[in-house]
Amino acid sequence: MSEKLPNMLENTIQKIREMVDVNSVIGQPISTPDGVTIIPVSKVSVGFGGGGSDFVNKAGGENPFGGGVGGGVKVTPICFLIVKDSNVRMMPVAEPANTTTDRIVEMIPDTLDKISAFVDSKTQKKE
Q: Are residues 61 and 19 in the same domain?
A: yes
Q: Are residues 85 and 109 in the same domain?
A: no
User: Which residues fall within 8 angstroms of residue 8, CB to CB, at 6 or more apart?
Assistant: 50, 52, 67, 68, 69
Distance CA 118, CA 111 (A): 11
**pLDDT tens across the length of the chain (127 residues):** 456 667 777 887 787 777 777 677 888 899 999 999 999 999 888 887 777 777 777 776 677 777 887 777 888 889 999 999 989 999 888 776 678 887 787 778 888 888 888 888 878 777 6
Distance CA 23, CA 2 (A): 36
Q: Are residues 113 and 72 in the same domain?
A: no
Q: Is 72 helix (H, G, I), strand (E, B) or coil?
A: strand
User: Looking at residue 54, what DSSP letter applies?
Assistant: E
Q: Are residues 87 and 104 in the same domain?
A: no
Q: Are residues 107 and 82 in the same domain?
A: no
Which residue segment(s) compose the domain that 105 sits in? 96-127
Number of domains in the chain: 2
Q: Are residues 50 and 111 in the same domain?
A: no
Give the model's pLDDT for residue 105: 77
Q: Are residues 53 and 113 in the same domain?
A: no
Listing from the earlier edge strand, what are the strands of the sheet with 87-92? Answer: 30-31, 37-54, 65-84, 87-92
Q: Are residues 66 and 123 in the same domain?
A: no
